[in-house]
Amino acid sequence: MTKNGKISFFSKTDVEDIDAVNNQAVSVINSQTGSVAFSVLVNGFLFKKALMQEHFNENYMESGKYPKATFKGTITDMSKVDFKKDGSYNVTVTGDLAMHNVTNKVTVPAVIVVKGTTLSANTNFKVKLDDYKISVPKVVENNISKTIDLKVDCNYEAR
């Protein structure tokens, strides 16, 4: 389990790059069943520019209405991971990603690293704004990519 998982996103366009990070994701991996869960408060994403953060929360993600983003899924190829042996294991995780009041099934590659009694997991994948009904006003549509790069990086403690 972790209470300080890192989730970041990046949008690149010809006009500007936008990135934000949230270091307060709560996540659990069950090493017996392969279940994986994440929960993050949307307004916990920090931006370099305060105005971007305000627009993200008020106009795009509507964090007052939809305060959390969640993921609930499973490591689909658990046989690849030996939680008792140090190593880096490439796996696939499939589950439901929910944000902005929309839930979609996603399948993403991930890496689980076992080192002694610690466990870390990370993944990078893309999310289309349209898939989650996140609309961008015409006036800034060239400033924000229609596909956002998401990165998840968590270090877990045994419970």
Domains and CATH numbers, the chain: 2-156 (2.40.128.110)
How far apart are the C-alpha atoms of 126 and 108, rounded to whole Å? Answer: 9
- Buried-state track 115-150, b at ≥16 Cβ within 10 A, e below 16: eeeebbbbbebebebeebebebeeeeeebbbeebeb
Residue-by-residue DSSP string for 89-117: EEEEEEEEEEETTEEEEEEEEEEEEEETT
Inter-CA distances, 53 with 43, 45, 95, Å: 8, 8, 28
Question: What is the Cα Rg of the chain in Å?
Answer: 16
* Residue pLDDT tens, the chain, 159 long: 999 999 999 999 998 899 999 999 999 999 999 999 999 999 999 999 999 899 999 989 999 999 999 999 999 999 999 999 999 999 999 999 999 999 999 999 999 999 988 999 999 999 999 999 999 888 888 889 999 999 999 999 887
